[in-house]
Chain A
Amino acid sequence: MRGNESGVVTTRLDEVSKWAQRNSLYPLPFGTACCAIEFMGVVSSVFDISRFGAEVVRFSPRQSDLLLVAGTINYKMGHVLKRIYEQMYEPKWVISMGACASSGGFYDNYATIQGINQIIPVDVFIPGCPPRPEAVLDAIIKLQQKIDRERVKK
């Protein structure tokens, strides 16, 4: 961005939309298990996700642009997750929170999907079982950096 003395700022449209996109992520917490409780901790006052502009939690895929998958996804839930992802409007991003969502975790069995990247694209994986709130905030920052680097999504 470049400004001059008359108060006019010139920039590229892409930069403005990316700036807006990365600083006002609306997360949809697809919370199924333990990680969802930690996500409640991330939202609460001590860790306060709103410092990173992502505190407007929406439970409707139509109103959100960040799908935060927190918890184990089994085969029964898999198609629900895929449909929720498809219902979200572009631009959209996905964070896979915790070992279960990222890789099936220690549920290596008949019921559990071994990583949600088998069914939907994932932008950031967070390790941990469950990850600490700081790790979730780190993922949000990483995602913001990624949005900044990418070509603008329309």
Chain B
Amino acid sequence: MADDRTIHTVDDTTLKDLDTEPMLINIGPIHPATHGTFRVFTKLRGERIEKAAVEIGFLHRGFEKISETRKYTQVIPYTDRLNYCSALVNNVAYCKTVEKLMGLEVPERTVYIRVIIMELQRIMDHLICVAANLVDLGALTNYWYFFNAREKLNDVIEALTGARLTYSYVRIGGLAWDLPPGFEGQVKATLPVVTQAIADVTGLVERNRIFLDRTIGVCAIGADEAVGYGYTGPCLRASGVAFDLRKARPYYHYDEFDFDVPIGQSGDCYDRIFVRIEEMRQSIRIVEQALAKLPGGPVNVDDKLVTLPPKARVYSQMEALINHDKLIIDGIKPPAGEVYDSLEAPNGESRAAWSPTSWLR
């Protein structure tokens, strides 16, 4: 009887026959579908959203206001919590901006370490993003696969920074400390786990009918529209715009690394998920290259007004103690002026604009 079967889909004619009315649904701020805290009031016709009113501000924590009265180094922990899925990238974005204001050149080793940790964080951020999206589609198994890989990466970062989520590892003019022994081997042992997790998950969802039906063509945003809305990052690239700050305005030797920028075709949910998955693969390539090129040397700039002296000297030499004291109490003092800098964070451009009011610091 296979020939008699017809597939009934709910289209506009069916809805007209049924004489349905649009349904008003309030989603959030606490709802299974809200990852993060925002509220959207929707007018639905079937599964199609006809109108949506978005309300934000449920996690307004006053970052800018707080940063006005903190010293430059004291702002670093706050940057951790801007996008807490990839805290190190925010650390770097902030410190890079202050360094630009002060005209500091960080050592080569620091540049490469920063690239490594930023790309590891990009992978971790995308793992959370894709895992959470797949959970919402009912594909819970993928969540376990991705989170196992993420925990492995977390172990690497924890060995480096001592924290699991909010690291505060980057300092103005360098890093808090150098890489721990065995870091390189640990990273190299972990990257195949990530590759395997990506392969497992793509194997499960790539040809899964439910996944395809729920993502292909859903919420497609064209290139013009994406640019018009001011999209950046993977969402912009999913819409087919090949704009990545790592290629467009290379910083930290990104022009020397061999990697591709994946772009989508239609800008739908499917593209947004798979651009992220491909970016993870590219980040693995960058980490491998950066590890191979990692030079030796110091990780902090040689400037007494920026870098804290090593603890061993602080406890044994008067000059170092005074230097430490002055830096902690007075803080780093960049010149007055305005500065803007940005870099490619996992979810788009991370921007930092700073106009210091020097009398406060």
Contact = CB atoms under 8 A, between A and B. Distances in A.
Do A and B belong to a common assembly? yes
Interface of A: 30, 32-34, 37-38, 40-41, 44-46, 59, 71-72, 74, 76-77, 80, 84, 106-107, 109-112, 129-130, 132-133
Given A37-B84, A44-B147, A130-B166, 15 more contacts: A32-B59, A33-B37, A33-B59, A33-B81, A34-B84, A40-B132, A41-B150, A44-B144, A59-B30, A59-B31, A76-B58, A76-B60, A106-B78, A107-B61, A112-B62
Given A40-B147, A74-B59, A84 B77 contact: no
B151 A41 contact: yes
Contacts of A40: 128, 132, 147
B62 A107 contact: yes
B168 to A, nearest CB: 10
Nearest to A78: B58
A32 B37 contact: yes
> For chain A, what secondary structure do more than half of its interface residues adopt (helix, strand, loop), or is it mixed?
loop
Contact of B62 (A45, A46, A109, A132): A109
Contacts of A77: 29, 37, 58-59
Interface residues of B, number: 31
Contacts of B29: 77, 80
A37 B128 contact: yes
A30 B30 contact: yes
Contact of B151 (A30, A33, A46, A74): A46
Given A30-B30, A45-B144, A80-B29, A38 B61 contact: no
Interface string B42-82: 00000000000000011111100110000000000110010
Given A46-B151, A84-B30, A109 B65 contact: yes
Nearest to B66: A109
Nearest to B147: A44
Given A44-B148, A44-B151, A84-B30, A74 B60 contact: yes
Contacts of B165: 34, 37-38, 130
A87 B59 CA distance: 22
Contacts of A130: 164-166
A87 to B, nearest CB: 10
Contacts of B36: 32
Contacts of B164: 38, 41, 130, 132-133
